[in-house]
Every structure is written in structure tokens, then in C-alpha cells.
Amino acid sequence: VKEIGLPERAVITTCAYCGVGCTFRAEMRGEQLVRMVPWKDGKANQGHSCVKGRFAWGYANHQDRVTRPMIRESIEQPWREVSWDEALAYTAGKLNAIKAQYGARALGAISSSRCTNEEVWLVQKLVRAGFGSNNIDTCARVCHSPTGYGLSKTFGTSAGTQDFDSVMDADVVLVIGANPTDGHPVFASRLKRRLRQGAKLIVIDPRRIDLVHSPHIEAAHHLALQPGTNVAVLTAMAHVIVSEGLADEAFIRERCEFDEFADWAAFVSQERHSPEALELVTRVPAADLRAAARLFATGGNGAIYYGLGVTEHSQGSSTVMAIANLAMATGNIGRRGVGVNPLRGQNNVQGACDMGSFPHELPGYRHIARDDVRASFEADWHVALDPDPGLRIPNMLDAALDGSFRAIYIQGEDILQSDPNTHHVAAGLAAMDLVIVHDLFLNETANYAHVFLPGSTFLEKTGTFTNAERRVQMVRMVMEPANGYEDWQVTQELAKAMGLGWDYADSGEIMDEIARLTPTFAGISHARLDREGSLQWPVNEAAPYGSPIMHVDGFVRGKGRFIITDYVPTDERTGPRYPLLLTTGRILSQYNVGAQTRRTANTVWHEEDLLEMHPSDAEHRGIKHGDWARLASRTGETTLRVTVTDRVAPGVVYTTFHHPTTQANVVTTEHSDWATSCPEYKVTAVQVSPSNGP
Ligand code: SF4
């Protein structure tokens, strides 16, 4: 305010960082943003915000922004700035030529969980109706794709069951594989408020996250499990609940497939699944496991919140289903204070999944093989759709190496930094004929691109984001796009250059199409969101005012399904060369690979990613607090500064992945979730040795 002067007008919009979805008053003077003030009427944040949403928006005007399109024939050549017309004609010509020579399935795209629902919708439509394949995937592939799989199989749809406010009626809160204090700070505040009122807390995490001991909060149980053993821990808890007669049989008989429950109960009751039998695997004392299970089953309303520490494992989908089993077995579904709640990392990862960004699903989580669903899209879009599922991101990269996949359009994602095994990603991109990067900055992936299309920030566009509680909220243009186009307009212009007759006048028309073709969005429009502030899907004839809580009278699929989830150890094993297990996470002031937060003046206090190491492991290697160390895995190596701390157990090390200089994903492996290919970021066998620095 001191530099720019007092604001003259304000626009209400939504934060573009995490899945909490805080709304803000963007206060403007002329065309300059003066400050972001948390909006008191925001349903998700109720007037609160964290440091990122409030202060980390300076990247919008950062000198690194690229605002003119660029092309080059090969990645060895320098970039050449061109007009939008030339860039779009060049790109469309290349795409059409590749399609003509190699077929529709040689083309694909990655949509962004940072972009609006309307923008994601158009990218998947471009792939399906323009490219002619289902080779569409999204960054949820590397974070919450197991949520999609696991919750669809058990409950019938891929979404958190509760609104955030529901936690205020929880009596026992189970937080597994999530660190809300850093990852979802505004929700964490509400959760802490409830814990200070007396709700009990169980934390399942290899690392002692802040929540375990914070002011006036003491977790009843912290189960510091060995990384990679989530399913074993949840199975042991289920064993206690079933064998001690603590399951909610009335709920199960009324709401779930009872025969499947009986099979599951017989499975978890086996002696090999007792806490005592699994203690060696999980490294959690059996008495703690028993006590935590009893507390969750008997302590009143039990609510489960989870994050990427659940999904980014070779058994990510199994863990999601094991969580759903636990909630159903204890009757903790369908009312306030209970539920299964994935804490979504990115602002619109829920929306990107809702909008059909998966290669096997049309919008609304409906399989591409369903003739009736495909027919509704074909009638609206006047085009025949490919009935076969397309390629996931890792499969696109593999197919590029064998020559069958030739061109990719990547909107708002830096896969070279964010995806596992950086060397493999680079090789796949380098093998393609055409890599189109549509982004704010020349990111690491752009090193392999032939076309760079400048993107717009959340301040420069109008559309909607959907937060982790399925709340659809307006994002409103605060300033004109620096590049002249909103992202949905770029995709539309590319489609037109390819010969498609698209003609959306504004993003509201795209939302009208979404509502027309997606039953869970049937009652949503920009006009209604402007009037009512926000709506939680499903919004349709059955739920005209939206659905803060799902599965109230019945599950979306009818009856809830118990699915047996047998613990299978990860293939990533420690040994003499790589004796430690690395796991990863985030810090409050940074966001994912840091492309935005590192380019704001307000978050400079965190300059590097640090490696947390237990004192005994550090001493054994002659490493002291603050020393540099070499972190090596079977895949690669990097150099990090060490923090010696007993937050992590002996044998476990931990780091964040916010800085390109560190490139933590150089060391992560290609192991992935058996069902969804979500990378196993949370378990990598490593060695740590002293180093003189990078
Ligand atoms: Fe809210 Fe998340 Fe944005 Fe922080 S980063 S202001 S918690 S939406």
C-alpha cells in the first residue's frame, strides 16, 4: 500500500495454491494489485488465509514471465519470438501432420490442476474431439489418482465426503500421510480449533509432524510407521476392530454389501494381521496400534483426513480402499463429524479430475467404454469418440521411446521437475517430434519444447476452481492477461487453427456445456455462483442447493463395498548400498516445485530444500547439522544440506522438493501404484554421505 497507494476497487476471487480454496478480495489501484485480503464471506476460509495466498502473488508480474509465443524447429536451436497467429498456425499444422502420418493415438495432452475447470474441460475436449484419442492425463496422476480409483471402487465416486466445517463435530480425528499445518494451513487451523476443544487425534506418519505436539494439542497416538507400510497398519487396526467386536454391524447391514464385509472381516481377522504379527513390518508397537484402533472405533464421530503420504506409494490405491473400509466398518460415513477426506494438494486437482482428465474417463467419472455416456458427448460435440482408454503420462513417455507417441501439449505442469525419474522423462520428451509447453515461465520441461505458448495467471482469467470439499468457486479476472489471452482462449484458438469450429464467447459458456454434459454439475452456472458464492457438487435435481456431505442415505454406487487390501511390500528395498529410506513432503511457505512461490518477494526465508536425518544416522556418517551431504539412490543423486533432528526415526530421511537446484526427483524411482501408476515418491532407498557441496 505504501508503494502503490490506497486501493480504488476490489474483485473477489479464489486462491490458486492449495486445495483449501480460500477466497480473497483482490484490492486494486488502477491496473495494479495493491493487496490480497482474505474474504470474510469465503465459505472455505471464513476470513482466514495463509502466507502463500495472502502474499505470494508477486510471480504474476515477475520478470521471468514469458508473454510472447516462441517456436523452434529443434531443441538445439534458440527460441524465436513469433506472433500468436504464427505460433498457432505452426503448432496446428504440426499436430495435423503428425496425426495424418502416425494416427490420432500418436498425440496427447496433460491438463493442469492449476488451471480452471473450464480450461481443463477444453484441453480434454481438444484431445478427444480434435486429436481423436483419449491420451489425456493430468498432474493428479502423480498425486491423487489413487483417490480416484479407491473411492470410486468403494463408495462409487472420487471425492472427499465432507465439507471442511464438518470437522467441528468430529470426536476422533485420524490424520494419515498428511501434514495439514504446512500443506493445508487454513483447514489445519479449523482442525486445531476442534482438537483444542477436546477431540482426540491419531497421527499415522513416519515423521513427527507439527500436529503431534503443538500448542495445547497432544496427539493421543502417533504411529510412526516404516515408510511403505500404510496398508499393514490399517489392516492391523481393522483386525482389532473386527476381532474385538467393535465394528458397527447395524450400519454395515443397512448401508454396505454384507457378503463382501463378511469376506473382508474374515480376512483381517487372520492371526497374521494382528498388530503383534505386523509389528516387525510396521515398526509400530502393537500396544499403540491396538489402542489407536479402539479409540477410533469407540471414541464417537471418527473423521479421516489423508494426503499424499497415502497415495504416492506402490499400494496407494489399496491404502485409499483400506481407509474407506475402516470408515465403513466403524459407521463413520454420511453425517457431520465423520467421513473420508483427501486433502487435495493443488487448488483445482478435484476439478481437473471431475473434468475428465483421465484417459479412461469422460467428465463426471464415467468410463469411456460406456456407449450411453459417449453418445451424449458425440451428440453435443458432433464427432465420434475413441471408445478405448488412452495413455497415462508414464505410458506416453514409454510410447515416445518406441516411436508410437509423437506429440504432446502440456498445459501448466513442469513434468521434468514434478514427475519421477527425471532422466526417463527427459528421454521421452526428447524422442517426441513436437512438445508444446503452455505455461507462465520457461520451466524445466520447456528445455525439451518446440513451441512455447505463454500462459495466464489466476489473476488474469475468469472461470472456476473446485476445492477439496467439492466446492466450486469463481475465479475472477483482476487484471488483463499480460499475453493477451486467457488460457482457455489459447486452447480454443489452437482448436480453431486445427480446423475445429469452436466459438465460446466466454468461460461461462464453457461452464454451460459442462453442466449440460455432466450430471453432478447440472445445476452450476457462473450466474448462479455469482449470486450464491459457491456450490458443492453434486448440484442437480436431487440436490438443488448442493451437497456439503455425500453418501448420506446411500452411497453413490448404492451399497458401500468392502474391498480386501492385502499388504504387499514395496519393491524398493534397502540394502548395504542404500540402507536408508527417503520420504518427501512440503513446507508452508513454498508450493510444489516452487515455480510461483520462488518468484515472490515474500517467501525468501526458505532458500533451499533440506535433508532431515536422525542424530544416530548422522553421527554414524560423520555428518553434522548444517553440513552438505550427497543423497544417492539407484536412480540418481543430488546434494543437500542436512538438518539433524529426531523428527524422523533412525533409518528414515526426509526432504522437500521445492527447488530445481535440488531436484529431489532425480533420486526417486519408477515404482508406482499398481492400479493408477501414481509414482511411489514416498519410499526411496538411499545412501547419504558427506559432501563438500553442490
Ligand atoms: Fe488458503 Fe491454501 Fe491459498 Fe493458503 S494456499 S491461502 S490455505 S487456499
Summarised one tens digit per residue, pLDDT across range 50-74 is 888 887 777 777 888 999 999 999 9
Among 20, 23, 57, 189, name the best residue to mutate to test ligand 1's pocket (greatest count of ligand atoms within 8 A of Cβ): 20
Q: Which atom of ligand 1 is nearest to the CA of 20?
A: 8
Q: How much distance in Å is there from the Cα of 660 to the middle of ligand 1?
A: 23
Ligand 1, atom 2: closest residue by C-alpha: 18
Separation of alpha carbons 591 and 113, rounded Å: 13
> pTM for this structure?
0.92
Q: How much distance in Å is there from the Cα of 457 to the middle of ligand 1?
A: 16
DSSP string, 285-339: -HHHHHHHHHHHHHSSSEEEEE-HHHHSSTTHHHHHHHHHHHHHHTT--SSTT-E
pLDDT of residue 660: 61
Does residue 32 or residue 332 have the better pLDDT?
A: 332
Burial profile 320-331: b = 16 or more Cβ within 10 angstroms, e = fewer? bbbbbbbbbbbb
Does residue 589 or residue 526 have the better pLDDT?
A: 526
Q: Which atom of ligand 1 is nearest to the CA of 16?
A: 3
The 3-class SS string of 444-473 reads CHHHHCCEEEECCCHHHCCEEEECCCCEEE
Q: How much distance in Å is there from the Cα of 46 to the middle of ligand 1?
A: 12
Whether residue 594 is predicted with pLDDT greater than 70 in this model: the reply is: no
Q: How much distance in Å is there from the Cα of 15 to the middle of ligand 1?
A: 6
**Geometric angle at alpha carbon 593, from 587 and 599, rounded to 5°:** 90
Does residue 422 or residue 211 have the better pLDDT?
A: 211
Report the range of poorest mean pLDDT among 326-335, 647-656, 669-678: 669-678
Closest CA to 588 of 603, 607, 600, 599: 603
Ligand 1, atom 6: closest residue by C-alpha: 53
Q: How much distance in Å is there from the Cα of 144 to the middle of ligand 1?
A: 18
Please identify which residue in the block is written with the cell numbers 535440488: 662
Mean pLDDT to the nearest integer, 192-219: 95
pLDDT of residue 522: 97
Q: How much distance in Å is there from the Cα of 522 to the middle of ligand 1?
A: 28
Whether residue 196 is predicted with pLDDT greater than 80 in this model: the reply is: yes
| pLDDT band, residue 286 (cuts 50/70/90) | very high
pLDDT in tens, 237-276: 999 999 999 999 999 999 999 999 999 999 999 999 999 9
Q: Which atom of ligand 1 is nearest to the CA of 186?
A: 7
Amino acid at 95: L
- Alpha helices, H only, 197-315: 230-243, 249-255, 258-269, 275-282, 286-298, 308-311
Burial profile 444-472: b = 16 or more Cβ within 10 angstroms, e = fewer? bbbebbbbbbbbbbbbbbbbbbbbbbbbb
Whether residue 585 is predicted with pLDDT greater than 70 in this model: the reply is: yes
Classify strands 172-176 and 652-656 as parallel, antiparallel or unpaired.
Answer: unpaired
Closest CA to 304 of 183, 236, 202, 223: 202
Q: Which atom of ligand 1 is nearest to the CA of 185?
A: 7
Q: Which atom of ligand 1 is nearest to the CA of 51?
A: 4
Q: How much distance in Å is there from the Cα of 22 to the middle of ligand 1?
A: 5
Q: What is the mean pLDDT of the chain?
A: 93
Q: How much distance in Å is there from the Cα of 543 to the middle of ligand 1?
A: 28
pLDDT of residue 679: 84
Among 50, 586, 590, name the best residue to mutate to test ligand 1's pocket (greatest count of ligand atoms within 8 A of Cβ): 50
Q: Which atom of ligand 1 is nearest to the CA of 21?
A: 8
DSSP E strand boundaries for 493-621: 534-536, 580-585, 610-613
- Alpha helices, H only, 507-639: 507-517, 526-532, 615-620
Q: Which atom of ligand 1 is nearest to the CA of 45?
A: 1
Please identify which residue in the block is written with the cell numbers 458427448: 377
Q: How much distance in Å is there from the Cα of 507 to the middle of ligand 1?
A: 24
Among 17, 57, 344, 603, name the best residue to mutate to test ligand 1's pocket (greatest count of ligand atoms within 8 A of Cβ): 17
pLDDT in tens, 491-519: 999 999 999 999 999 999 999 999 999 99
Whether residue 584 is predicted with pLDDT greater than 90 in this model: the reply is: no
Q: How much distance in Å is there from the Cα of 2 to the middle of ligand 1?
A: 25
| pLDDT band, residue 552 (cuts 50/70/90) | very high
Ligand 1, atom 1: closest residue by C-alpha: 22
Q: How much distance in Å is there from the Cα of 45 to the middle of ligand 1?
A: 8
Please report, for residues 139, 257, 543, 687, the alpha-carbon distance to residue 310 in angstroms, rounded to integers and kept in the order given. 16, 25, 31, 24
Separation of alpha carbons 333 and 350, rounded Å: 20
pLDDT in tens, 101-122: 999 999 999 999 999 999 999 9
Among 14, 22, 51, name the best residue to mutate to test ligand 1's pocket (greatest count of ligand atoms within 8 A of Cβ): 22
pLDDT of residue 338: 98
| pLDDT band, residue 357 (cuts 50/70/90) | very high
Helix (H) or strand (E) holding 489: helix 487-497
The CA dihedral of 507, 511, 517, 520, to the nearest 10 degrees, is 150
Helix (H) or strand (E) holding 655: strand 652-656
Separation of alpha carbons 250 and 238, rounded Å: 17
Closest CA to 225 of 687, 674, 651: 651
| pLDDT band, residue 544 (cuts 50/70/90) | very high
Ligand 1 pocket by Cβ (under 6 Å): 15, 17-18, 20-22, 45, 49-50, 52-53, 185-186
Instruction: ipTM value, please give it.
Output: 0.99
Report the range of poorest mean pLDDT among 24-33, 172-181, 544-553: 24-33
To the nearest 5 percent, what fractions of the chain are helix, strand and coil? 35, 20, 45
Whether residue 586 is predicted with pLDDT greater than 90 in this model: the reply is: no
Whether residue 664 is predicted with pLDDT greater than 80 in this model: the reply is: no
Report the range of poorest mean pLDDT among 1-15, 177-191, 299-313, 393-407: 1-15
Q: How much distance in Å is there from the Cα of 487 to the middle of ligand 1?
A: 22
Q: Which atom of ligand 1 is nearest to the CA of 187?
A: 7
DSSP annotation of 266: H
pLDDT in tens, 615-650: 999 999 999 999 999 999 998 899 999 999 999 999
Q: Please, which residues have CB within 8 angstroms of residue 640's CB and are 6 or more apart in sequence?
A: 608, 609, 610, 611, 628, 629, 631, 655, 662
Q: Residue 538, preceding bond cis, omega within 30 degrees?
A: yes
Report the range of poorest mean pLDDT among 304-318, 324-338, 371-385, 668-682: 668-682
Ligand 1, atom 4: closest residue by C-alpha: 50
In the chain the domains, ranked by start, together with CATH numbers, are 9-61 (2.20.25.90), 70-142+348-458+481-506 (3.40.50.740), 145-342 (3.40.228.10), 580-690 (2.40.40.20)
